Amino acid sequence: MAIFSVYVVNKAGGLIYQYDNYVPRAEVEKTFSFPLDLVLKVHDEKVIVSFGQRDGIRVGHAVLSINGVDVNGRSTGDGKEILEFLKDSANYPVSIRFGRARLTSNEKLMLASMFHSLFAIGSQLSPEVGSSGIEMLETDTFKLHCFQTLTGIKFIVLADPRQAGIDALLRKIYEIYSDYALKNPFYSLEMPIRCELFDQNLKSALEIAEKAGTFGPGS
Amino acid sequence: MWTQPESLNSELFTLTYGALVTQLCKDYENDEEVNKQLDKMGYNIGVRLIEDFLARSSVGRCHDFRETADVIAKVAFKMYLGITPSVTNWSPAGDEFSLILENNPLVDFVELPDNHSNLVYSNILCGVLRGALEMVQMAVDVRFAQDTLRGDNVTEIRMKFVKRIEENLPAGDE
């Protein structure tokens, strides 16, 4: 769990592969009675807590499921609007699960394209000629490492800031890509990667990287 | 850094390539057409092979055609075919050179019959080189100048630099 996710971006900036490796984040399920003491609001097609932190439910957590049924954006599984549903006292007691909202695949696509552009801006901003693009982005909770091959494909790994050996991991992922994606004749270049062997080998490479922190020669 | 490829019987490779060429000859019945198909197939191999090459060797970007020639002859050919051709016959402008292959693993045991005198048996190599270099933003023209199968003493591949491909340049490369 020290390596959070892997993204592979093609030459044009489109996301062709994404893998999330984090342990399910803290999710809290509680039964509530009317009236609800959390203030909820709709944000970005999700219902999130805007005020009223308690018992592990934090501001910013999204409603993930109601009464065991996963929600669909702003509506419950059966299509009712969540906020309307929760205003009606007849629906209580209700059991709601809160947690940090996951990124949807569309959001990931958008973020990958955005990163592709920022990567290019990084190299243009540089005072030195011939600088590379963004190689690392650091925040207090994670570090994003990016490796661009000579052919323009980018391999991006989000990991714990203390995780070592990510450079070697990025090279290893490049090798795995050249083996299990490219050598599969049915895989078309620049298209989303849907190769089982690629997934499997990537997962084991991530496990090795997390444990050992580094790759030995010839592995 | 270099992983040794598992050893595959090179004779199986020669047989496989031979079966491929003869089937193409039967299907197209025209040497020129077969040459074109081999080049196309080689191109598809080249665009994939380049990533494998870059992932396994640690060569960086080549800054001129001479560097490219050296890398192709000394690293790439050695890695994939186990041979090291020599680089000669540079044009005065430095944009064209020849690779002289003493022996060619593709043509072990092969003799070209008279009715296929226009067939460039190893044309797949031209496609591979063209496809691979195109993926690193270099447009090249590759052809066989001499071929031992057609009676010459050595096999000579002539490579000409056409231009740098500026579209889709990866960010950070000037």
Q: What is the pLDDT of residues A73-112, one digit of tens each?
A: 777 777 778 888 888 878 788 888 888 877 888 889 999 9
Quickly name the fold that domain A3-23+104-212 has: Beta-Lactamase (3.30.450)
Q: Does B92 touch chain A (CB under 8 A)?
A: no
Contact check, Cβ <8 Å, B61/A150 = yes
CA A129, distance to chain mean position in Å, is 33
Q: What is the ipTM of this complex?
A: 0.83
Measured in angstroms, the CA of B163 and the nearest CA of chain A are apart by: 16
Average pLDDT across chain B, whole number: 88
Residues of B in contact with A124 (CB under 8 A): 171
Domain boundaries, chain A: 3-23+104-212, 27-100
Q: Does residue A163 contact residue A210 with C-beta atoms inside 8 Å?
A: yes
| Portion 108-167 of B in contact with A at CB < 8 A | 135-136
Q: What is the pLDDT of residues B115-159, one digit of tens each?
A: 888 899 999 999 999 999 999 999 999 999 999 888 888 899 999
Write down the pLDDT at residue B22. 92
Measured in angstroms, the CA of B80 and the nearest CA of chain A are apart by: 14
Neighbouring residues of B28: CB distance < 8 A, sequence distance ≥ 6: B34, B37
Confidence category of residue B174, pLDDT binned at 50, 70, 90: very low
- The CATH class of A27-100 is mainly beta
Write down the pLDDT at residue A96. 84
Write down the pLDDT at residue B96. 93
DSSP state of B71: I
Contact check, Cβ <8 Å, A130/B173 = yes
The answer to whether domain A3-23+104-212 and domain A27-100 are alike in fold is: no
A151 has a pLDDT exceeding 70: yes
Contact check, Cβ <8 Å, A151/B51 = yes
The 10 Å CB-count burial string (b at 16+, else e) for A128-144 is eeeebbbbebeeeebbb
Contact check, Cβ <8 Å, A183/B52 = yes
Measured in angstroms, the CA of B34 and the nearest CA of chain A are apart by: 21
Amino acid identity at A6: V
B163 has a pLDDT exceeding 60: yes
Q: Count CB neighbours of A71 within 10 A.
A: 19
> Residue B29: which region, alpha, beta or left (left: phi > 0; alpha: psi -120 to 50)?
left
A218 has a pLDDT exceeding 80: no
Interface test with A, best of B4, B43, B48 (most A CBs within 10 A): B48
Residue of chain B nearest A169, judged by CA positions = B55
Q: What is the pLDDT of residues A19-50, one digit of tens each?
A: 988 766 677 888 888 778 888 888 877 888 88
H or E stretch covering B88: strand B86-88
- Give the C-alpha distances (Å, rounded to integers) separating B117 from B27, B78, B114, B126, B149: 17, 29, 6, 18, 9
Write down the pLDDT at residue B144. 92
Q: What is the pLDDT of residues B17-70, one digit of tens each?
A: 999 999 999 999 899 999 999 999 999 999 999 999 999 998 888 888 899 999
Residues B88/B169/A186/B21 CA torsion (nearest 10 deg): -20
Measured in angstroms, the CA of A156 and the nearest CA of chain B are apart by: 15
